[in-house]
Chain A
Amino acid sequence: MSDTLTEQKPKSVKPPKQKKPASLWSDAWYDLRRSKVFIIAAVMIAVLVVMSIIPGLFSSVNAFDPSTCDLTKARQGVSGLHWFGTDNQGCDTYSRVIYGARISIMVGVFSTLVTTLIGGLLGLLAGFYGRWTDTILSRVAEIFFAIPSTLGALLILALVGRDNAGIWTVVLALSVLAWPMVLRIMRAAVMSAKSQDYVLAARALGAGPGRLMSRHILPNAVAPVIVVATMNMGVFIAAEAALSFLGVGIQSPDISWGLMIADARNRFLQAPEALLFPALFLSLTVLAFVMLGDAVRDALDPKLR
């Protein structure tokens, strides 16, 4: 304090931060690295991502290869050879759980990408241009918003049919129903950023709509969308498992945690591990993404600072 009082020339007044010059983004990153929740979530997600890219690292049995299953060893319990036991077809449950991460992560990532891009772009346009652009986009979004999401996804996948069902149809079904939420959040953030003085100042300089959106509005409006996208990742993974459990999502021989839970549900009392292990991995994955979203929100939300 004392040195700022003695310094009279404005050019020599030091900003109060002792940190190095930093953008708001790097400040957020600085906060994130100090958050325990973020570290735990990031480690869990990193493990899951590696698991989904190179599952061979975690399991010596290639669960994608049906010849590794042995019907004579069906429904075995936990043993040194089969850590989580074996399923109805005699496949190793542990390796199937590991190999099942890929579809969950893929569904989560792609559904999030599609919803964020479509919802974000349309939300940006609706919020920026307002008037009839906003009216049309918002009303269309509300129509989709009105569909109950589980029922809607079931309906879409039932219409597609079991033969065509797979990871891409699940991504489609989830995205179609989830983009309006991103649109709403983006639209609200853009509308509040648009009315800021610095946007007016840029307009006074003669900046066109493209520059206003890309340089001034978008960087100040993406934070809530990033938070929602991160949390959505977990929500989509859970939704994929639910749809697969109900039999309309991922189909055998693809491996999905939801599908494994469905297969194991009839012999839960005899072999609870066959259901509990995929369920555990599913819960941990969803938890990791929700925690990550929480940590990101804490770091990005200036009101909590």
Chain B
Amino acid sequence: MAPQGDPILEVRDLVKHFPLTQGIVMKRQIGAIKAVDGVSFDLRRGETLGVVGESGCGKSTLAKLLMALEKPTSGSVKVNGELVDVHKGSNLKRFRRNIQMVMQDPYTSLNPRMTVGDIIGEPYEIHTEVAPKGDRRKKVQDLLEVVGLNPDHINRYPHQFSGGQRQRIGIARGLALQPEIIICDEPVSALDVSIQAQVINLLERLQSEFGLAYIFIAHDLSVVRHISDRVAVMYLGKIVEIGKDTQIYDKPSHPYTQALLSAVPVPNPEGRESRERIILQGDPPSPANPPSGCRFRTRCWKAQEICAVEEPLLQIRPGTDHESACHFAEAHDVVHAS
């Protein structure tokens, strides 16, 4: 099922620094939060790229940058080979038709004062060329049906639905413009487990039905493994390792990925005691003042002098088959090791 062909989304050296200022009238910049600091990847048609990493590593900022909700400090995003220019309205509007978003919290992402029909129909009001006025109601009802909701509920308000149903409404809104890319920013982390599975299955069904490409941001590694074709691991604003899901999960080569995977809960109590646990020391450094060289070196058990001097590039290392940003990358199966 691994999709081939041209990349639909090309991200190159994307950087977002939030300035830290001091003073009220005369604002001086005294530093910057390096939320996303040089991220590059490709996304192919119909593919799912999972993005994992701990809180504060820049996942959500990355989503906002890809949605052009934040202006990047530098770097470029290309959709279908065309550069996205955040400063040009017409370019941006066309771009928005092609890339949409499913948000994390279904309780805050739907306007409580609008009916479901108005919420899902709003994309058509903004992009009037997609559907003529008379067709819109019908289209909204079709969308409700596609995401597994009752089309008769079109006049209801969000507070009359459950969390899972609300998330389906959010997905329907994302689908309305028939985009090719959907960015899911932790779409299931606010739902309980049984509903999570329903929503994940819905996302997978929609992917095969409409040929969607997903960027799936989450911190639940098992959910990401289930849905993703490829996985990118982020740490402190950078991708530290990227590869096929099997490569990342079975042969992780970056120490951070290995530590992350060793923390995944094991359902089987037998062997739980004997398996390898990598426990990292300390907290992630501040993104305002990241360590020199390799950003992970302050918590890494493999760190040597070179790590503080030379920044490891994201590239295929000897002994591994996928890109990893570690000088001492070495495939090591954490999950199955015992």
Contact = CB atoms under 8 A, between A and B. Distances in A.
Our verdict on whether A and B bind, yes or no, reads yes
Interface of A: 9-13, 15, 17, 21-25, 196-198, 200-207, 211, 215-216, 219-220
B165 A10 contact: yes
Interface of chain A: mostly helix, strand, loop or mixed: helix
B149 interface: yes
Given A9-B148, A10-B164, 8 more contacts: A15-B160, A21-B155, A21-B157, A23-B113, A197-B104, A198-B110, A202-B122, A205-B122
Interface size class for chain B? Answer: 35 or more
9 contacts: A10-B168, A11-B150, A13-B165, A21-B155, A21-B156, A206-B127, A211-B126, A216-B111, A220-B112
B330 interface: no
B109 A23 contact: no
A200 B103 CA distance: 9
B69 A204 contact: yes
Contact of A10 (B108, B114, B148): B148
B108 A198 contact: yes
B157 A204 contact: no
Interface string B126-139: 11000000000000
B162 interface: yes
A21 B154 CA distance: 10
B22 interface: no
Contacts of A9: 148
B103 A201 contact: yes
Given A198-B108, A204-B100, A205-B123, A24 B165 contact: no
Closest 9 CB pairs of A and B: A15-B160, A219-B113, A197-B109, A197-B108, A198-B111, A206-B96, A21-B156, A11-B150, A204-B101
A13 B166 CA distance: 12
B115 interface: yes
Interface string B191-207: 00000001000000000
Nearest to A222: B113
Interface of B: 67, 69, 92-93, 96, 100-101, 103-105, 108-115, 122-123, 125-127, 148-150, 155-157, 159-162, 164-165, 168, 170, 173, 177, 198
A23 B160 contact: no
Contacts of A200: 69, 103, 109
Contact of B149 (A10, A24, A211): A10
A215 B115 CA distance: 12
A285 to B, nearest CB: 32
Contacts of A204: 67, 69, 96, 100-101
B115 A23 contact: yes
Contacts of B104: 197
Nearest to B107: A197
Contacts of B159: 24
Contacts of B161: 15
Contacts of B67: 204
A207 to B, nearest CB: 6
B111 A207 contact: no
B333 to A, nearest CB: 38
A219 B111 CA distance: 9
Nearest to B168: A10
Residue among A10, A13, A196 with most chain B CB within 10 A: A10
A212 to B, nearest CB: 11
Contacts of A11: 148-150
A223 to B, nearest CB: 10
A17 B113 contact: no
A296 B207 CA distance: 47
Q: Output the residue of A15, A216, A219 with the most chain B CB within 10 A.
A: A15
A124 B156 CA distance: 28
B162 to A, nearest CB: 6
A22 B112 CA distance: 11
B213 to A, nearest CB: 17
Contact of A206 (B103, B126, B157): B126
Given A11-B149, A201-B103, A204-B67, A220 B113 contact: yes
A196 B103 CA distance: 12
Nearest to A25: B113
A201 B108 CA distance: 10
Contacts of A15: 156, 160-162
Given A200-B69, A207-B126, A24 B160 contact: no
Contacts of A22: 157
Contacts of B126: 205-207, 211
Contacts of A13: 162, 165
A207 B122 contact: yes
A213 to B, nearest CB: 13
B52 to A, nearest CB: 22
A204 B174 CA distance: 10
Contact of B173 (A25, A201, A215, A219): A201
B50 to A, nearest CB: 21
Nearest to B113: A219
